[in-house]
Structure 1
Amino acid sequence: MPTRNTIILAAGKGTRMKSKVYKVLHRICGKTMVDHVLTQVEKTNMDNIVTVVGYGAEAVEENIGDRAKFVVQKEQLGTGHAVMQAEDLLGNLDGTTMIVSGDTPLFTAETFEKLFEYHENEKAAVTILTSKAPDPTGYGRIVRNDLGIVEKIVEQKDANEIEQAIDEINTGVYVFDNKSLFSALHKTNNDNAQGEYYLTDVIEILKSEDKIVAAYEMDDFDESMGVNDRVALSKATKIMQKRINEMHMRNGISMVNPEDTYIDVDVKIGSDTIIEAGVSIKGKTTIGEDCFIGSNSEIRDSVIKNNVTVTSSMIEESEMGDGSNIGPDSHLRPQSKIGKNVHIGNFCEVKKAEIGEGTKVGHLTYVGDATLGKNINVGCGVVFVNYDGANKFHTNVGDDTFIGSNSNLVAPLEIADHSFIAAGSTITKDVEQFDMAIARERQTNKPGYFKKLNYKNN
């Protein structure tokens, strides 16, 4: 039975990136480049996906996991040599095999599917994915005859003046008849300046055997961008960012300035949410409907429910319930859970805390390692003192409690429902239900003290 296979080439080190990170593991909009390629390949229902690894093999395998099989190219002897490493896994299979590079993160599943369909309709031995380049300099040119049949691929350095004027270029993606691919690979040699085995030589071999060599021209040249250095990485990120933002806007999201809005590829956003300029939304974040995300906010790996307002604040690995709001200039650190209709005001920090429905944390307050019930009022400048220099401790605050401004709650503490903490108190003992706790020095006034000072009276 015919199979559909893909070989992803991910063995290169990428010296032009000038990085300790292997090239295909550089990230674009929340995913490594090789993960972007693999994600699109997976959408085309492959029977087998083989990734060729070399430099940084363990790191690449860890990033991809069990989503692909792996073969190792121990020596970097060219693209043809890299593909040969997959022969033990794929060589005897009937069907078709696509070759794609792990540093081309912008290709889409739709393009791959059209390439396979064209290849099958043409009954070709190989189909080359091509595109019209605004500036073809540096690319291999697709040379066709008067009937439009592919004659050859000519590299830039080998192209004559007429061939250099051709703007149809080789994107480096191919679909082969699988057995023809591996048969032809055995006929290649490394008789060239680099001493490498080139995949493009396979096309010349198939052509010489009178097998059909086809080319499918895709519409969007940007998809073909290969990333070899940091400049290309930046350009690819911009293209991906635009693609993501346009997808969300078409799905009912409003962006005040999409060119200045960064959203990772796996983010989900509900309809009628408004996003202002300078916002970054990263990781596996989910945002509900009818939310407002204000300028310069950053949200990462968090769940934002419906009708939430985030004003110039940072949220990390946390959750905000329906109708809640935060900011400006506040910070939810990891493991914070904000309930329905909770207000987190300006210059507040919450860490590893759960805050119940209707509670208000006004401003200039730190809530760490705590569980707060419903309808609590937390005054200005309150500090949940959770760390003694060695260990963290927890505070529980019951429903309908009032915590006065400038209070310090020294954990561990149990503060019962319907209790009252007087402003300016440092609380070190548990507070019972309906009690008011006061822990501060009694005020003392010194009569006539001002006159003893040498201040001039104006």
Structure 2
Amino acid sequence: MNCKTKDMYDLTHSIAAPVLKDCEYPWEVLPKIGDFIKEIGPKLDREVYEDRGDFIYIAKTAKFVNEATNTIIGPCIIGPGTEVRPGAFIRGNAIIGADCVVGNSTEIKNDIIFDNVEVPHYNYVGDSVLGFHAHMGAGSITSNIKSDRTNVVIKDFSTGEKIETGLRKIGALLGDYVEVGCNTVLNPGSVVGPHTNIYPLNMIRGVIPSNSIVKNRAEQEITEKN
């Protein structure tokens, strides 16, 4: 099963590299995000980051389209040049990299979001890791808890391999340069390899190999009106 951290991400593109490099699999970082922010936040360069209190550290060059409409709960780091649009809800334990877009009515919770990631329109991203230059289309979401509330198991349906995570909440692990189409649902424990394109209106589960194209087989039928 090819879903190890070293195969999914270029760690030079995240401030979270020190904690990720010690994780064989990327989901192992999820319980560590909050403590890591509390550890490195006070050490961040004050020429670059502003300490907003409550373990909230925001780069001075971050752009807020209408900050009065945003809710940001710590621990949280928002990197340089990142744009936060109206209605964004950042619920804590969130590391958002440089030059990202957190869009209108987008919710972020317990995530590592690498540099240059876009979650720009009506997205929910919970308990997830999004790699460098990943993009989630409008309305695409990560589902982070199973309906029966049991622990998430990472499954490779092509080989039958399974990994018991011991975690009840895991959203999606998106490798570098993953493109997720509009209104796609990433089921709990979805792992998408780098440079993969997921077409709109998909329901993703299990491990998707790198350099893949994922599309559903629904066909559009057009008939002439009577």
Q: What interval of TM-score do these two structures reach, taking the shorter chain for normalisation?
A: 0.5 to 0.7
Q: Is 1:328 aligned to residue 121 of structure 2?
A: no
Cα displacement (A) at 1:362? 2.5
Cα displacement (A) at 1:442? 4.8
Pairing 1:382-401 to 2, within 5 Å after superposition? 382-386=184-188, 394-401=189-196
SS of equivalent residue, structure 2 residue 104: coil
Higher share in helix: 1
**Off by >2 Å, runs of 4+ in structure 1:** 268-274, 440-445
Provide the rounded CA distance (Å) in 1 between the counterparts of 2:218 and 2:107: 33
Cα displacement (A) at 1:360? 1.1
Structure 1 residues 349 and 269: alpha-carbon distance in aligned structure 2, compared to 1, 3 A threshold = farther
Q: 1:407 aligns with which of 182, 185, 202?
A: 202
Identity of counterpart residues, as a percentage? 19
Kindly provide the amino acid, as one letter, of the partner of residue 316 in structure 1. Answer: R
What is the RMSD computed on CA atoms of the aligned residues? 2.6
Provide the rounded CA distance (Å) in 2 between the counterparts of 1:349 and 1:343: 12
Kindly provide the amino acid, as one letter, of the partner of residue 419 in structure 1. Answer: S
User: What's the TM-score once normalised by structure 2's chain length?
Assistant: 0.60
Question: What is the CA deviation profile of residues 207-251 of structure 1, one whole-angstrom value per residue up to 9, with x for unaligned ones?
Answer: xxxxxxxxxxxxxxxxxxxxxxxxxxxxxxxxxxxxxxxxxxxxx
User: What's the TM-score once normalised by structure 1's chain length?
Assistant: 0.31
Pairing 1:147-296 to 2, within 5 Å after superposition? 283-295=54-66, 296=69
Question: What is the CA deviation profile of residues 3-47 of structure 1, one whole-angstrom value per residue up to 9, with x for unaligned ones?
Answer: xxxxxxxxxxxxxxxxxxxxxxxxxxxxxxxxxxxxxxxxxxxxx
Structure number with greater CO (CA < 8 Å, separation at least 6) is 2
Provide the rounded CA distance (Å) in 2 between the counterparts of 1:362 and 1:271: 34
Cα displacement (A) at 1:415? 0.3
Equivalent residue number for residue 374 of structure 1 = 176
**Conservation of the 8 A alpha-carbon contact between 1:282 and 1:300:** no
Q: Which runs of 5+ in 2 are unaligned?
A: 1-41, 144-170
Equivalent residue number for residue 123 of structure 2 = 348
Question: What is the CA deviation profile of residues 72-106 of structure 1, one whole-angstrom value per residue up to 9, with x for unaligned ones?
Answer: xxxxxxxxxxxxxxxxxxxxxxxxxxxxxxxxxxx
Provide the rounded CA distance (Å) in 2 between the counterparts of 1:293 and 1:272: 16
Kindly provide the amino acid, as one letter, of the partner of residue 346 in structure 1. Answer: H
Q: Which runs of 5+ in 1 are unaligned?
A: 1-265, 275-280, 387-393, 426-439, 452-458
Provide the rounded CA distance (Å) in 2 between the counterparts of 1:375 and 1:305: 19
Equivalent residue number for residue 308 of structure 1 = 82
Larger Rg computed on CA atoms: 1
How many residues align structurally?
151
Provide the rounded CA distance (Å) in 1 between the counterparts of 2:101 and 2:56: 17
Structure 1 residues 291 and 444: alpha-carbon distance in aligned structure 2, compared to 1, 3 A threshold = closer
Question: What is the CA deviation profile of residues 380-438 of structure 1, one whole-angstrom value per residue up to 9, with x for unaligned ones?
Answer: 1111133xxxxxxx0110111001111111x3x0101100011xx2xxxxxxxxxxxxx
Kindly provide the amino acid, as one letter, of the partner of residue 417 in structure 1. Answer: S
